[in-house]
Structure 1
Amino acid sequence: MASLPDFRQLSDSVRTLDRARVESFLQAHWRLLTFLLVLLLLGGFSPSSGYTRFALLVAVWVSGLRWAQNRGQLEPLGLDLIWGRSFLMWRTGRGKLFIERMAQYPTVWRRFGDVGLVMVFGTMVTMLSLLVWQAFLVFDIPKSAAVSPKLMLGLPGLNPIIPLWYGIAALAIAIVVHEFCHGILARVANVRLKALGLLFFAAPVGAFVEPDEEEMVAMRRIDRMRLYAAGPASNITLAFLFALLFSWGMVAALEPAHDGALTASVVADYAGAEAGLEPWMLLTSVNGTDIESAVDFGAELNKTWAGQNVTVQALDKGQPRSFDVTLDDKGSYYLQYYPDYYESWMSGKGFLGVAVTDQSVVTEGLAHPAQDGWSLLRYITLPFLKLQPFPEHFTALFEPSGLPGLLPDGLFWMTANLFYWIFWLNLMVGMTNALPAVPLDGGFIFGDSVAALLDRLKRPSLSAERKEQITDRLVSLLAILVISLVIWQMVGPRLVGTEVAFLQARFDASGDEGWNGDSFDFDASLSVGGFVEWEWDFGDGATTSGEQVSHAWDAGGAYYVVLTAKDADGRQSRAYQPVVIDQRAQASGDVDVLDSATETIAARPYIGEVRTMITVSGETPLLSTDVTVTLTSPSGETQQQTVTVSQQSTVEWLWTADGEVGDWRVDLESEDFEFSYEVAWELDYRLAA
């Protein structure tokens, strides 16, 4: 009788086999798995996170490459895996002839290598200093503003700010120039080139020139340092040349196509945005007044008040448009968003909700970016400002002139964009490769520099082997530091970034409307945040301090009471509340024969209604006189009435008119005899004007 299989032993064998496979898999791929886990943790395992999507891309790319290599499908195609079996390398012999021809000028290239060394050392120190500085800034960055890993990758298609085709063209130029300069300096030093090629990580990410390793080791140290410096130095040099072409050749040739004030930004939910205004529109008139510059726009808007209806003419991508706008209150905007810059005169002023500049400021900053630090910063960050490639609303504002103006418009703008991206990506490639972290060029230069310094130390105890160990350790430590600093920019804000401190200034008021002369009480004891100072601004030029205060307004209007509360550390919070003050005012006088009198009162923004009570009495016994009374509004509209009065008679009447901002005037005159008068005003203010 056949014996039954021992299923328990079979099960143990299967488990042992599975465990061995798992251990083998983990040993082969633990670095990749760790990297993927870190990405998933950063993305919170959210499918919509950029970290998660990048982790998926890495997993698919690396797994596919390793699967193909294990089956021997890469080597027949001249392909190989490097750097943790994650990057694909393609070797070729093409390009060697060009390198040989260029290497026929060894003196020129050696001098370029010397200059390149100085350039790379300067860039290395600058970049490392910036990374250290940014490492400390991380503590002040809000957690929600942490850098996305996509922005750390200079790859078109992955980095959202780099346009695909301009990016591919510019990156290809940067890579080819970088590697060919390495190859030329290698041949100048008589080092044989084994191959040239490209590196891929889902897309072309680099190129390489592969000198003979043994000959590289045998090179003079200065020649090897020149070789490494040639790559980043060539990129930085090319970036400088194309920056000149972009700025002096292309941007300097631009002339404004029309006069006007350029909208640099538009505030959401305010008058301009509600009416349809957008950034990069050219404002050409306000209420029929032509606008030729930002100064004109500011002056014209300062003549308006909150609640006023105005008509704004603008050019949108070269096309004329008209916008009917009801202006907001400038004071309330600044109180809500920029309280540190609020001034009481702003309350009641018209606010369109746009920031404007002159077109020449834009072109001047791009044509001469080195004139100040801010211009240079804007120049480098044009992609983050969504101004590269130049969008249509930008190109519609300017016309090319001079020699570049001979190009068709489309070709001109395409060339300008390409010049900028060649500058930008060459600068990024050059500065990145100057970092002292192997396998970057700066890392190898740093290693040779350390070795050269150790050779200068005449210490018998330092053997060649010991010097090599010290050099390797220093190079490794610095590489780890650089990589850690880069990763810290992404991870740091999420771990140690700032949390918003809860400070809330609050106050109660005894009322929010009344008459001029009425006293109002304000109490800030309900504020939250451990405040120790309370400063008050009542909008009429009066200020005071204290947790509980009182105030009375002399003139009518809509005022903003602003409380600034500060804690012991100097942190502050603001609160504000509008108070509407109606105004009563009186004037009286005597008018002689053939004379006249005038009384005026100023109505402020938010005026709703003006009521005028006029009383006229005769002064001449037994004789009557005709008195003509005229009420004139700020816009020039008049109401007029003629009355007859004598010594024994008095006439009074009430005029009511819709409010207008400005001076209201009452004129009284008689061609007969003297008379006396009284004028009583009541100005009714309404916040929702």
Structure 2
Amino acid sequence: MDTTNLILAIFLVYWAAVAYLSKKGVLEKYNISAYGPILMIRTVRGLALLDKLAKPRRYWRVFANTGIVLMFIGMFAMLFIVILSDIALISSLTENAMPQPSKFNEARNVFLIPGVNEFIPLTWGIIALVVTLVVHEFAHAILARVEDIRVKSMGILFALVPIGGFAEPDEEQLFGEGKDEFGSPVINEKKATRNQRARILAAGVMSNFAVALIAFVLFFGPVLGAVAPMSDTMVVDVKEDSVADIAGIEKGMIITGIDDQEIRYANDVVAYLNKTETGSTVTLKAAKDREIREYELEVTGKQDTGDFGIYINDIVDGSPAERSNLEKGMFLLSINNVTTQTPEEFVNFMNTTTADQEVEIEVKTTEGESKIYTLTLGQHPDGTSEKGFLGVYYGTDGVKNIPVGLSIGEYPAHEYLDMLKGLPSMLTGVAGWVILLGLPIIGFAGEGFPGFSGTLAQFYEPVGWGEPLGVGVFWIANSLLWVGWLNFYVGLFNCLPAVPLDGGHVFRDYLQSFLKRFTGDEIKSTTLAGTIAGTFTIFIILSFVLMIFGPYIVHGF
């Protein structure tokens, strides 16, 4: 049994035990509630701490009032995005251009849950989710105490492992809704005013935005400043029994120098070896896991400087390339009989394509065989480009053979790091916010940036203050990236004017106050506001359903 199946089996056993204990009333005796596999373990310990944290009331009210303003900004922004997505999907439906089903619109990837969402790495995702939930819930609790609303309990959310925290404000005091002795809902005297309630609800969103800001400032500032590219040149293949193979050079190593010359591009290697006579010995410096070693290699045979194809560094999840079983390590030779020996040739051809266009792609497989794949190009993930989308990562230069038994390629490590560092300066325009929202999934050009891990991390090393930490710098970077992104996304999502989200409650409250100016009747304005808020809720739910299932309805499941 592999690890995944073992974890799944343990989780199912745990879930069955939770269901059994809940049915027998055992959990209730210990003030524990079960919602599916998730346990809410309550305690009244720590409530005194909330009162202490709530003492600077003026500060917290300013904090929460700022949150109300940001919530309405986020509300309009998210509603605009939802409406824009609906228009785009309906237009594509009428024009028979509905995008193919993919991981970008798969139901499981709508939920920001590590282990469920394929784009969120498990370790960094769990860290980010715990921080997001704890910050959000405890901000509600602190503002509840600031406004003299009772907090009934605090606790942790548990699903085999702790996944977050929560605090329970007294909903009867917060919303004025309770139940009589028979369990029927009754309307009580509201203790919290509209503005108090709005501050309590907006505090969660504001805290998420504040944490996101802190995390992103640290990530894009000192942390990225402690990361530097080693080189853009990677070993993509090692010829068996060649001098490089015998010397111990491995596929995936980063070439940083030859003799006393520093190497950045693959052409630097070619240019140096062009000046080296056959039979001469060179010292190649190559790094694996940021450890640089020197290898003595004899230059053999005639120099081959020709490009022979685009090396596929990786495959975009859910892309046409993945669905057609293209693999990392293949060489892309041609498309529709048009050679693609350089990135320029590949880009020029792709610029002539359209979504849903069928193409024939010739590749050299990882076994060295030539093979042709027929596939249908997808719609570009940015949603604005009309050209077709294949979904492969490739270097900025073609793969080159060098006469020591190596094939080398490039990845724009320097340029990519510069783009990351420059992202904050792009936030003055809409494009910057779009990139930030989709950074881990779409990235700058559909490739996604999940953090410094795997092959990508090989190109970089810690410098400056981060050098003593070694790989720990990448752990810090990944944690900050996901804490910032998840807090930002959860904060925005909670701004949506849909009950029971925080934004839905605030929208309904302020709408009721606005309508009362015209109706002059508390009951009528409350009923009308509830109807409008309910309509928005249904509209938003149906919009998400359309986004998820629209491509499947058109193209089949």
Same fold (TM over 0.5): yes
The residue type paired with residue 186 of structure 1 is A
Which one-letter code corresponds to 2:124 in the other structure? Y
Cα distance in 2, alignment partners of residues 361 and 340 from structure 1: 18
Match of 1:487 in 2: 545
Residue among 398, 406, 413 paired with 1:359: 413
Contact in 2 for aligned 1:294/1:358 (Cα 8 Å): no
Whole-Å separation in 1 of the counterparts to 2:142 and 2:543: 33
Query: Larger deviation: 476-485 or 200-209?
Result: 200-209
Contact 2:126–2:163 under 8 Å retained in 1: no
2:30 equivalent in structure 1: 77
Aligned to 1:261: 232
2:159 matches 1:152: no
Give 1:566's aligned residue. Answer: none
CA contact (8 A) 2:152 2:170 kept: yes
Name which of 64, 72, 75 aligns with 1:113: 64
Preserved CA contact (<8 Å) 1:94 1:196: yes
Q: Deviations over 1:264-284 (max 9, x none)?
A: x989xxxxxxx9997784575
Determine helix, strand or coil for the equivalent of 1:160: coil
In the aligned structure 1, how far is the partner of 2:433 from the partner of 2:225? 15
The one-letter code matched in structure 2 to 1:480 is: I
Q: How far is the alpha carbon of 1:76 from its aligned partner?
A: 1.0
Shift in Å, 1:476: 1.9
**In 1, Cα distance between the equivalents of 2:83 and 2:285?**
46
Query: What is the CA–CA distance in structure 1 between the aligned matches of 2:63 and 2:170, rounded to whole Å?
Result: 22
Q: What residue identity is the alignment partner of 2:59?
A: V
The SS at the match of 1:175 is helix
1:244-273, Cα deviation, whole Å (9 max, x unpaired): 11121111122344xx4346x989xxxxxx
Matches within 5 A, 1:621-640: none
Residue 156 to residue 330, structure 1, CA distance change in 2 (3 Å): closer
Alpha-carbon contact 2:399-2:410 (below 8 Å) kept:
no
Deviates more, 1:158-167 or 1:120-129: 158-167
TM-superposed deviation, 1:368: 3.0
Change (3 A) 1:367 1:97: farther
Write out aligned runs for 1:284-683 (5 A).
Answer: 292-294=263-265, 315=286, 317=288, 318=292, 327-328=306-307, 333=334, 335=338, 341=348, 351-352=398-399, 356=410, 358-372=412-426, 373=431, 377=435, 381-382=439-440, 385=447, 387-391=449-453, 393-405=455-467, 407-457=468-518, 459-460=519-520, 463-496=521-554
Which one of 66, 72, 78 corresponds to residue 127 of structure 1?
A: 78
- More strand per residue: 1 or 2? 1
Q: In 2, Cα distance between the equivalents of 1:441 and 1:379?
A: 20
Deviation at residue 369 of structure 1 after TM alignment: 1.6
Per-residue CA deviations over 1:538-561 (Å, capped at 9, x if unaligned) read: xxxxxxxxxxxxxxxxxxxxxxxx
Residue type of the alignment partner of 2:348: Y
Going from structure 1 to structure 2, the CA distance change for 1:136 and 1:207 (only over 3 Å counts) comes to: farther
Residue type of the partner of 1:475?
A
Identity %: 25
Q: Which moved more, 1:117-126 or 1:315-324?
A: 315-324
Contact 1:148 / 1:490 at 8 angstroms: preserved in 2? yes
Letter of the structure 2 residue corresponding to residue 177 of structure 1: V
Return the alpha-carbon distance in structure 2 between the equivalents of residues 243 and 231 of structure 1.
Answer: 18
Contact 2:158 2:164 in 1 (8 A): yes
Equivalent residue number for residue 167 of structure 2: 209
Deviation, structure 1 residue 186: 0.8
1:487 Cα deviation after fit: 2.8
Q: 1:295 to 1:133 in 2, by over 3 A?
A: farther
SS of residue in 1 equivalent to 2:152 = strand
1:464 Cα deviation from its structure 2 partner = 2.4
Could you tell me how far 1:224 is from its partner in structure 2?
Answer: 0.6
Partners of 1:142 and 1:498 within 8 A in 2: no
Residues 469-520 of structure 1 show CA distances to partners (whole Å, capped at 9, x for unaligned) of 2222222222222222223222111113599xxxxxxxxxxxxxxxxxxxxx
CA distance in structure 2 between the aligned counterparts of 1:279 and 1:141, rounded to whole angstroms: 35
- For 1:482 and 1:319, the matched residues in 2 are separated by 56
Residue 61 of structure 1 and its aligned partner are, at CA, apart by 8.1
Q: Is the 8 A contact 2:194 2:509 kept in 1?
A: yes
Deviation at 1:101, TM superposition (A): 1.0
Distance 1:327 1:375, change over 3 A: farther
Structure 1's 132 and 295: CA in aligned 2 closer, same or farther, altered over 3 A?
Answer: farther
TM-score (norm 1): 0.52
CA contact (8 A) 1:117 1:225 kept: yes
Amino acid at match of 1:235: N
Following TM superposition, by how much is the alpha carbon of 1:96 offset from its aligned partner in structure 2, in angstroms? 1.5
Q: How many residues are paired up?
A: 423
Aligned partners of 2:544, 2:293: CA distance in 1, in Å? 46
Is the CA contact 1:109–1:188 (under 8 Å) kept in the aligned structure 2? Answer: yes
Residue identity matched to 1:367: K
User: C-alpha offsets along residues 559-594 of structure 1, whole Å, 9 cap, x if unaligned?
Assistant: xxxxxxxxxxxxxxxxxxxxxxxxxxxxxxxxxxxx
**TM-score w.r.t. structure 2 length?**
0.63
The structure with the larger Rg is: 1
Does the Cα contact within 8 Å between 1:116 and 1:233 map onto a contact in 2? Answer: yes
What residue number does 1:229 align with? 202
Partner of 2:217: 244
Structure 2 contact 233–266 (Cα < 8 Å) conserved: no
Instruction: Evaluate the alpha carbon distance shift between residue 147 and residue 426 of structure 1 in structure 2; reply closer, same or farther with a 3 A threshold.
Output: same
Secondary structure (helix, strand or coil) at the match of 2:486 reads helix
C-alpha displacement at 1:57, in angstroms? Answer: 11
2:155 and 2:165 in contact (8 A); partners too: yes
Distance apart, 1:366 and its partner CA? 2.4
CA distance in 2, matches of 1:448, 1:196: 26
- Per-residue deviation, 1:188: 1.1
Can you give the 5+ residue segments of structure 1 that lack an aligned partner in the other structure?
Answer: 1-49, 268-274, 304-310, 344-349, 500-689
- In the alignment, structure 2 segments of 5+ residues that lack a partner are 93-97, 176-189, 238-244, 275-281, 311-332, 351-396, 401-407
The CA distance in 2 between the partners of 1:414 and 1:485, in whole Å, is: 37
Compared CA separation, residues 97 and 454, structure 1 to 2 (3 A): same
> Per-residue deviation at 1:419?
2.0
